[in-house]
Amino acid sequence: MSKYFLPIAIACGLALVLSGCARTPESQMTTMADPDCQPDPATPQAPADIRSLNNPLDMTPDQLAAGRDLYQDSARPVACAQCHGKQGDGTGPLGRHLDPSPPDLTCDFYRDIPDGQLFWITREGSNFMSNEPGHTDVRRPGRRDRASAMRPHRYFLTEEETWQVIGYMRTFHSE
């Protein structure tokens, strides 16, 4: 063996060990095979007491129909499908013009997000935009100071309507 083998082997082993230390367990959990399904790490996390909430509604056919109607057409100021797409795949007519584009809610990652996190993002927005009705500070291409253009819907959807939408979104992952 050459005199360089042992130092090179030690250096490679050390590099391998140190590269594993750079990743947190949370970043390891969100690593997926499809790079388009990666969550934006800048998206704010709900406070723990909200994140731990479960959808309190029994998602009956009537509740699902109400959630579908809100998602597809009647939510204000903009129906969810306008950005997230009719199928939840992030290809809505408005979403194509947003930077960053809306997430593909059909990805496995979104199946596993707690109900409380979805509730909070829907109510508060994912970028801390103003909650004032009529506020028009929408993300413009080239500006990356916010996680997304997701508007807060707290003044437009009741809590029950928010849970109905979340219940409907869960149908994107029915197996």
162: number of Cβ within 10 Å: 22
Q: Where are the alpha helices (DSSP H) in the chain?
A: 5-21, 25-29, 48-51, 61-69, 80-84, 108-111, 115-124, 159-169
pLDDT of the residue at 85: 95
Residue by residue, pLDDT tens for the chain (175 residues) are 567 655 565 555 544 444 444 333 333 333 334 556 766 666 778 899 999 999 999 999 999 999 999 999 988 888 999 999 999 999 999 988 887 788 889 988 888 899 999 999 999 887 644 444 444 444 444 444 555 678 889 999 999 999 999 999 999 986 5
Domain ranges of the chain: 47-133+140-173
Q: What are the phi and psi torsion angles at 58 (to 5°)?
A: -75, 120
Q: Where are the alpha helices (DSSP H) in 42-111?
A: 48-51, 61-69, 80-84, 108-111
Q: What share of the chain is helix, strand, coil (3-state, %, to 5)?
A: 45, 0, 55
pLDDT of the residue at 26: 36
**Closest among 100, 114, 95 to 169, alpha carbons compared:** 114
Look at the domain 47-133+140-173 and name its fold.
Cytochrome Bc1 Complex; Chain D, domain 2 (1.10.760)
Tell me the three state secondary structure of residue 116.
helix
